[in-house]
């Protein structure tokens, strides 16, 4: 706190990311990173980009990430002008809030969702209303049929992992032609239907993607927005009023190579999905209720053991899972899908904790 702070800084409630422990070999299942490395082609592309490092690093990167945007556009059957690239999808979302969601009416998002949304809203002084998920944590699209300044939600939702069918998203788009609907598809590759297929029919749709999860590149910080060129133009205007070069050279080269190696993407995704089903079965065998997940994490609660206590006991063993001290979900753990070996370490630790009355 300082007298030099602006009013808005006093009012901010910054997002708190999951812990990145400084340990040699933690079992790290708390931030939904991919347990597998990126494609070897990504590492080769970074090395090639460095080439004569001193010469390359001296110059600014491409401010519009043209090659990357063209590659990703071709991958999704879009045009480059329908693609915006930013420094991680968090930054893309931050620009979306300012460029497309700051209007007279409040914006809407689920009561249980990605906790960065209220943070952005407060940063920009955007009024928001949360809409309750139903008892099984599903988004009821009919609840969003009220005048609004925009709608934003992840699909699959975070931290539940529950996916909304594409037909429901289309219903929401059709009923909200006056406002922008943002579908944050950070986890879509692990089992949900992408709304990208609807972009050409709905000029109010913006879809946000990231390379952090299904392409194993959280450390490179690259994210995208896909939508009508007019929406993309709004994001470019905000970007160019903030930072012309959000993506460095290595990030652009790495992300481009990740999209070019589709085989690696498909293989690692299949492994994560198989491990998710195995982890889910293991948790259920220990007495956990597990929300059906279409993501690279599961959301689970035990009827007789306190979630915060379990998370703390696991942490003592250098096993990290995420616990949110929030209404309705404070008895749940969000567990990222690791390798089968990591999931087995977790399941064995949980088995001992539950046997030994960790309650």
Ligand X SMILES: Cc1ncc(COP(=O)(O)O)c(C=O)c1O
Alpha-carbon distance of 47 to 353, in angstroms, equals 45
Q: Order of strands, edge to edge, in the sheet holding 107-110?
A: 83-86, 223-227, 205-210, 181-184, 151-154, 107-110, 128-131
DSSP annotation string for 287-326: TEEE---SSSEEEEEETTS-HHHHHHHHHHTTEE-B---S
Does position 210 interact with ligand X (CB under 6 A)? The reply is yes
219: Cα separation from own chain's centroid: 14
Among 46, 64, 175, 218, binds ligand X (CB under 6 A): 218
Among 223, 227, 246, 282, binds ligand X (CB under 6 A): 223
Does position 160 interact with ligand X (CB under 6 A)? The reply is no
Binding segment (CB under 6 A) for ligand X, from list 84-92, 136-144, 230-238, 314-322? 84-92
Does position 114 interact with ligand X (CB under 6 A)? The reply is yes
Q: What is the largest CA-CA distance in the chain?
A: 61
Nearer residue to ligand X within complex by CB, 158 or 298: 158
Least Cβ distance, residue 3 to ligand X (angstroms): 33
Least Cβ distance, residue 225 to ligand X (angstroms): 11
Q: Is 263 exposed, middle or buried (0-12, 13-18, 19+ CB in 10 A)?
A: exposed
Nearer residue to ligand X within complex by CB, 213 or 302: 213
Binding segment (CB under 6 A) for ligand X, from list 82-90, 121-129, 303-311, 327-335? 82-90
Does position 189 interact with ligand X (CB under 6 A)? The reply is no
Does position 186 interact with ligand X (CB under 6 A)? The reply is yes
Does position 88 interact with ligand X (CB under 6 A)? The reply is yes
Identify the helix (H) or strand (E) that includes residue 25.
none
Contact of 182 with 96, CB cutoff 8 Å: yes
47: Cα separation from own chain's centroid: 27
Q: Could you tell me how many residues of this chain bind ligand X (CB under 6 A)?
A: 13
Binding segment (CB under 6 A) for ligand X, from list 7-15, 210-218, 266-274, 335-343? 210-218
Nearer residue to ligand X within complex by CB, 150 or 282: 150
Binding segment (CB under 6 A) for ligand X, from list 22-30, 87-95, 228-236, 243-251? 87-95
Among 29, 49, 71, 90, binds ligand X (CB under 6 A): 90
Nearer residue to ligand X within complex by CB, 184 or 261: 184
Nearer residue to ligand X within complex by CB, 94 or 349: 94
Binding segment (CB under 6 A) for ligand X, from list 1-9, 83-91, 166-174, 311-319? 83-91
Smallest Cα–Cα separation from 93: which of 79, 111, 114, 73? 114
Least Cβ distance, residue 218 to ligand X (angstroms): 5
Identify the helix (H) or strand (E) that includes residue 355.
helix 340-355
Give exposure, 91-117, as e/b (b: 16+ Cβ within 10 Å): bbbbbbbbbbbbeeebbbbbebbbebb
Nearer residue to ligand X within complex by CB, 32 or 256: 32
The structure tokens 């370490």 sit at 345
Contact of 258 with 265, CB cutoff 8 Å: yes
Site for ligand X in 270-329 (CB under 6 A): none
Smallest Cα–Cα separation from 161: which of 222, 114, 224, 226? 114
Query: What is the three-class DSSP state of 209?
Result: strand
Among 45, 158, 181, 220, binds ligand X (CB under 6 A): 158
What is the dihedral sign for C-alpha 66, 96, 236, 202?
positive
Nearer residue to ligand X within complex by CB, 36 or 306: 36
Nearer residue to ligand X within complex by CB, 154 or 191: 154
DSSP annotation string for 225-249: EEE-HHHHHHHHHHHTTT-S--S-H
Residues in contact with ligand X by CB under 6 A are 32, 88-90, 114, 154, 158, 184, 186, 210, 212, 218, 223
């Amino acid at each position: 706190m300082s007298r030099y702070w602006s009013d808005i800084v006093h009012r901010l409630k910054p997002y708190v990311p999951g812990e990145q422990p400084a340990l040699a070999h933690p079992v790290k299942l708390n931030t939904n990173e991919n347990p597998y490395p990126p494609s070897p082609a990504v590492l080769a592309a970074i090395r090639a980009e460095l080439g004569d490092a001193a010469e390359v690093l001296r110059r600014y990167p491409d401010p519009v990430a043209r090659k990357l945007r063209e590659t990703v556009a071709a991958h999704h059957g879009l045009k480059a002008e329908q693609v915006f690239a930013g420094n991680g999808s968090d930054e893309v979302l931050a620009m979306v809030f300012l460029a497309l969601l700051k209007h007279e009416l409040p914006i809407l998002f689920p009561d249980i969702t990605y906790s960065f949304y209220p943070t952005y809203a407060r940063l920009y002084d955007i009024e928001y209303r949360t809409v309750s998920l139903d008892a099984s944590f599903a988004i009821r699209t009919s609840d969003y049929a009220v005048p609004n300044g925009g709608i934003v939600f992840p699909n699959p939702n975070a931290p539940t992992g529950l996916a909304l069918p594409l037909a429901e998203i289309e219903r929401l788009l059709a009923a909200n032609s006056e406002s922008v609907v943002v579908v944050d598809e950070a986890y879509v590759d692990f089992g949900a239907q992408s709304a990208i297929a609807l972009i050409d029919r709905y000029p109010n749709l913006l879809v946000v993607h990231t390379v952090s999860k299904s392409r194993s590149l959280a450390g490179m910080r690259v994210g995208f927005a896909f939508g009508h060129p007019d929406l993309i133009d709004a994001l470019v205007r905000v970007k160019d009023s903030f930072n012309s070069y959000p993506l460095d050279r290595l990030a652009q080269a790495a992300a481009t190579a990740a999209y070019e190696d589709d085989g690696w993407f498909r293989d690692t995704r299949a492994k994560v999905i198989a491990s998710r089903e195995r982890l889910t079965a293991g948790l259920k065998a220990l007495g956990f209720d597990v929300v059906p997940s279409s993501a690279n994490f599961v959301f689970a609660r035990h009827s007789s053991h306190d979630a915060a206590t379990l998370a703390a006991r696991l942490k003592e063993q250098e096993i990290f899972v995420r616990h949110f001290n929030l209404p309705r979900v404070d008895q749940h753990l969000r567990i990222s899908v690791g390798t089968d070996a990591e999931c087995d370490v977790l399941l064995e630790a949980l088995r001992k904790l539950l046997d030994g009355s960790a309650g």
